[in-house]
């Protein structure tokens, strides 16, 4: 596949770069991450009303701009470069795909226009205590005469305290794997829902513990068929991995850019340390890993775009798992290595609070584990390959 941005996509990239350089510089990031909300409300309003980013990949029939996952990935890469503190990732890459791929048209009509307008942020709660897969869902759902009752907890929910809307995954008792899983959409203020903010390694991305105590829901809040949303959840998580890979690629680019700027400025033995061959080799290795991650991320974005297209090719859709796993593996490892090398090449100051490499290192470490480690995705990829070979 020969990939190059269109003129429209380049404009999106350049506009995002200029805007984020203004509203998400180092000072703004540090102020936002230390605030109670974890983001600046004025910046989020500008993102929604002035830039229209929450509406980017929502179809026009629901008040969106009708663009695709490649355009979304362009935005996410720039957000990763600037460590944007905002509830955008959870809304755009977790909750919105769940609604778009669901079969409940009434829920789409109710929530997608508000997400597109920026008046509603959203997230997905699914993971249990052990990991990020379908087997790790422990919250339970029981059918009632006029609806459902949910109980359980989710120890790590992205932007759980900030989101207006929660997409909740729960399973029927005694079910395993993807079987018995249902997805529900409910306002965070629903009685019985309790959210507790967590202290995290990466202060630029908020997590929360969400508890459900006999939450009563009606049948209209179910995204698909009862007990048969496992495949839908898996696809949503694959799309989320692709979005995260794009964001990680942007973070790796920022780590490389910071390193190049610092080594060009730092003097040793009467010359810039960037002129030393050992430094050049390290930076070249960072660049190689970054480009591999970027290629994997944008190929996966193209596959995701086909998956979200109602008329997309079925064969292309089947590539989603492999593309998502490959992108997450390469992006996680590239970001982690670039962030670690950035600290090393900054020397002693790389560890200090005043310099930014530690912020990217923390984001890299947290993102590496988010939605599954590279080892987990390699295992999934190997399982798929062996299954196809019979």
Q: What is the pLDDT of residues 128-182, one digit of tens each?
A: 776 787 778 989 999 998 899 999 999 999 999 999 999 999 999 988 888 999 9
Instruction: Answer yes or no: are the C-beta atoms of 167 and 98 closer than 8 Å.
Output: yes
Give this prediction's pTM: 0.95
Q: What is the pLDDT of residues 83-125, one digit of tens each?
A: 999 999 999 999 999 999 999 999 999 999 999 999 999 999 9
- pLDDT for 307: 82
- pLDDT for 350: 82
**Domains of the chain with CATH codes:** 7-121 (1.10.540.10), 123-221 (2.40.110.10), 230-389 (1.20.140.10)
Q: What is the pLDDT of residues 88-99, one digit of tens each?
A: 999 999 999 999
Q: Is the pLDDT of residue 196 over 80?
A: yes
Triad 318, 324, 325: Cα angle to 5°: 105
Compute CA distances 230 → 234, 315, 344, whole Å. 6, 20, 43
Q: Is the pLDDT of residue 281 over 60?
A: yes
List, as one string, the DSSP characters of 212-246.
EEEEEEEGGGBSSSTTB-HHHHHHHHHHHHHHHHH
Instruction: Answer yes or no: are the C-beta atoms of 80 and 16 closer than 8 Å.
Output: no
- pLDDT for 387: 74
Q: What is the pLDDT of residues 303-348, one digit of tens each?
A: 999 888 766 555 666 689 999 999 999 999 999 999 999 999 998 7
Compute CA distances 180 → 104, 107, 235, 340, whole Å. 18, 21, 16, 42
CA–CA dist 197, 157 (Å, integer): 9
- pLDDT for 174: 86
* Residue 162, C-beta contacts closer than 8 angstroms, at least 6 positions apart: 37, 38, 39, 87, 121, 123, 206
CA–CA dist 364, 248 (Å, integer): 7
- pLDDT for 314: 55
CA–CA dist 222, 229 (Å, integer): 10
Over residues 14-26, mean pLDDT: 97
Q: What is the pLDDT of residues 232-280, one digit of tens each?
A: 999 999 999 999 999 999 999 999 999 999 888 887 888 887 888 998 9
The mean pLDDT of the chain is 92
CA–CA dist 235, 257 (Å, integer): 34
List, as one string, the DSSP characters of 110-158.
HHHHHHHHTS--EEEE---SS-SSGGG---EEEE-SSEEEEEEEEEEEE
Over residues 176-204, mean pLDDT: 94
- pLDDT for 1: 57
- pLDDT for 2: 66
């Amino acid at each position: 596949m020969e990939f190059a941005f269109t003129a429209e996509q380049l404009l999106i990239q350049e506009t995002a770069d200029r805007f984020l350089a203004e509203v998400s510089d180092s000072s703004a990031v540090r102020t936002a991450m230390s605030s109670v909300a974890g983001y600046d409300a004025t910046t989020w309003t500008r993102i929604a009303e002035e830039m229209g980013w929450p509406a980017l990949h929502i179809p026009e029939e629901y008040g969106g701009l009708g663009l695709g996952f490649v355009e979304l990935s362009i935005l996410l890469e720039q957000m990763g470069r600037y460590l944007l503190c905002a509830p955008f990732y959870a809304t755009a890459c977790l909750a919105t795909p769940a609604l778009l791929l669901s079969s409940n048209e009434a829920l789409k009509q109710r929530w997608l226009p508000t997400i597109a307008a920026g008046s509603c942020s959203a997230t997905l709660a699914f993971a249990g205590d052990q990991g990020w897969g379908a087997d790790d869902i422990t919250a339970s759902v029981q059918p009632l005469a006029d609806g459902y009752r949910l109980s359980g907890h989710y120890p790590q929910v992205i932007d759980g305290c900030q989101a207006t809307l929660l997409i909740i995954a729960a399973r029927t008792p005694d079910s395993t794997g993807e079987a018995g899983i249902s997805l529900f959409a409910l306002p965070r203020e629903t009685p019985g829902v309790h959210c507790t903010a967590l202290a995290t390694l990466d202060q630029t991305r908020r997590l929360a513990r969400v508890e459900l105590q006999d939450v009563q829901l009606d049948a209209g809040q179910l995204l698909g068929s009862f007990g048969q949303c496992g495949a839908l959840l898996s696809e949503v998580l694959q799309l989320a991995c692709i979005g995260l890979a794009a964001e990680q690629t942007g973070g790796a680019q920022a780590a490389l850019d910071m390193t190049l700027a610092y080594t060009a400025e730092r003097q040793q033995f009467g010359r810039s340390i960037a002129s030393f061959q050992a430094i050049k080799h390290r930076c070249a290795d960072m660049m190689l890993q970054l480009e591999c991650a970027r290629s994997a991320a944008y190929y996966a974005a193209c596959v995701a775009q086909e998956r979200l297209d109602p008329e997309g090719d079925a064969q292309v859709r089947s590539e989603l798992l492999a593309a998502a796993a490959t992108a997450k593996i390469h992006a996680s490892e590239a970001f982690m290595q670039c962030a670690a090398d950035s600290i090393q090449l900054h020397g002693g100051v790389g560890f200090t609070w005043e310099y930014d490499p530690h912020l990217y290192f923390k984001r890299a470490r947290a993102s590496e584990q988010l939605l599954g480690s590279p080892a987990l995705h390699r295992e999934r990829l190997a399982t798929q390959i062996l299954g196809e070979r019979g």
